[in-house]
Amino acid sequence: TGAGSDARRPLGIVVVGGLAFSQLVTLYVTPVFYTYFDEAPERVREAVRRARARIRARRRGTLAATEP
């Protein structure tokens, strides 16, 4: 209410929306990213281990097929 309130209302909505969005990012998104990045080295090691096991299995299969 008052003079100029029609011009200030949209700005207030944007400011409050920005505050709510930044709160959401701070409380929910940041911890999720931290968890993913914290567990990333373990996931990479597991993927490399599985890939090496597949390579070894293929080599064994190829060698077994060529032996008399």
Residue 68 has pLDDT above 70, yes or no: no
pLDDT tens track for 6-62:
889 999 999 999 999 999 999 998 999 999 999 999 999 999 999 999 999 888 886
Q: How much is the pLDDT for 4?
A: 84
Task: Please state the domain count of the chain.
Answer: 1
Whole domain around residue 66: which residue ranges? 40-68
In a domain, 50, yes or no: yes
Quick one: which of 3, 26, 22 has its CA closest to 14? 22
Measured CA to CA, the distance from residue 63 to residue 41 in angstroms comes to 33
In a domain, 61, yes or no: yes
- Residue burial 13-42, b: 16+ Cβ < 10 Å; e: rest: eeeeeeeeeeeeeeeeeeeeeeeeeeeeee
Q: How confident is the model at residue 5 (pLDDT cuts 50, 70, 90)?
A: confident
Nearest 5°: CA angle at 32, between 30 and 37?
95
In a domain, 23, yes or no: no
Q: How much is the pLDDT for 63?
A: 58
In a domain, 30, yes or no: no
